[in-house]
Structure 1
Amino acid sequence: MADSNDFEHFDLHQQTAQRKYQDRKRNCGSAVAFCTTCFRPPVNDEDEEVNYIHVEESTESEEQIRKGKAKPMKTKDRNVCGSKSIVVLYILFMATSMVWMILLSKAFAKHSEISAEIENLRNSRTILKGNESAISAELQELWNTLIRLKASDTEEIRNLRVEQTLMKEKDSKIMANVTNLENYVSKVCVIKTCPCEWTLFSGKCYYFSNENRDWKKAREFCQSQDSDLAVINSDEELNYLKGKVRVDHLVGMSDLETEGVWKWLDGSLVDQRMWNPGEPNNEGKEDCGEMSNGKLNDIPCNIKQRWICEKTL
């Protein structure tokens, strides 16, 4: 009899365990992916044995509850796994919502930038279209100007060719005149007693140089032409030479023999009336003479300038 009661008691416990198993399965069904501790289907014999042990423990717990030895499990404890799953889902939802809000904000900002850039491009295109007509008109004007310049250049070249022909004719005439003049000069030089390029005044021939030399080199040139630097003995001769020159020229006077005693190359003393005011002043060792502004002036002998040669017929 005792064995029969034990079997009945065991069947009752087994049925109670089955009901608890079904209840737990329903409570954890919505969060099976997040709470594997609530329900895990058996895979092998060992898992079945573990579940059977859990069923026995649950049966013992039920007996203890009926006898008053143990308190029944609260509904809140049984549903804690489902609550945790809901909290996890809510957190994931909030995080996903925040990510989407950030992405949408960035997309909206990028859309605003692109819209502004497109608007600027449209404005630039409008401006370029407005300038296109002005540029076309300017290019047409430049083209017309180029055509006019080509026509003008052609006419100008034609005129230049005509002028060139006339210049050649004039050059031919000038050359003929020069030849005639040279023949005339040669005849005159034969008649005159002074050499060519020399001038005659009061029985003396004068040569006015076109190059510059110092006083000593200038005198050597004159001596090579059977003459010497000019010696001025009268006011008339001074005035004549003054009218023939426009720049300073060396003449034949110095105080090289005696400092302060100015003599001409023929040994005569220099007339004091022929000096420029304040001359001679011997500034910087001035021992040679020149004719400057129609009067006489003392200068250093190493200064290079033009000169006057003189020889008597």
Structure 2
Amino acid sequence: MVIPRHSRPLDQFHWTHDGAEVKTRGHRLVFGSSLQIHGVTDADRGTWTCCFSSRDALENHVTYDLEITGNGRSCKNLFKILFTVFLIAFIIAVVPLALIYRNHHQLQAKHSQLEHSYNSLQADDNQFGKGRSSLQTNYSQLEHRYNSLRANYSRLEHDYSRQNKSCGQLLVRTRELLNTLIDDGINSTCPWGWSKINKTCYYFSKESSDWHGANHSCVANNSTLATVTTESQQDLLANYDSEKRWIGLTDLDQVGVYVWVNGEQLGKGFWDFGEPNNQGKERCVTKGARYHLHKWNNDVCSARHHWICQTSSFECLARRFGLEALLRQ
């Protein structure tokens, strides 16, 4: 509402607030080109009505009805607004700075950790370099030793080949010499107590034993139980001795399959009539049957009989002169 510029200030006026009359609150009206009310606070918000009268420039008495509605603003409200704006601006400015400071501190700590890790890795790398140098030195030394050993091995291999050739030739000549001595009929080729029959040494035991004990006795004397593979050998043994004796033939590995102690399977056998019989029970063989001493008979292995050990004259002579190497050729 516009009040005339030359109006005078009011001496008396009264207010009503939201329809209720109130006393003067110390508010002051200042007239100019417009009416201004000073002193209105947030607590004074509402509908204010001020009735006053004044004389205009012509001394006319004029009555004005002034209604004030809406939100009044005071300097205090302005201060609050400015303070709030300042606080918001401060927060907007300070929070990013705080975040930047915190991130900077964290980055600085990570930088210190990385620097420490880098120094540790660098120290490890230096240590690794020293170890690598040491390994390279050891490798060079080992390589030198390997080359030296390889050269020595080649030289020894060459010497071994030459000596092996010479040794082979010596063994051949020694074997020929022993065979010549045997052919010339040297009398001392078989051990004492053994009999020489056609270049073979036989031992005819005077004691009795089961088959396994007889076999063990022969092996202990560098021989085996007799292996009779030819008819002439069978005739020689039958004519030389007429007793019933164990020989080196059994079917202990498989019933009905007779094998010699040297691993050879039986070819031709010289069995008595009806032999072998009682398969599975009588599994060891003797020279000399019950009714025909020149034939074979199978018997239980636990029976006690004399036995025949056999070895060659060459083997006996080689062992006599300490030439067992000849037996492995």
**TM-score interval for Structure 1 and Structure 2 normalised by the shorter chain:** 0.3 to 0.5
Instruction: Return the structure number with greater relative CO, CA threshold 8 A, min gap 6.
Output: 1
Q: Give the structure with the higher percent strand.
A: 2
State TM-score, norm by structure 2: 0.41
State TM-score, norm by structure 1: 0.43
Q: Give the structure with the higher percent helix.
A: 1
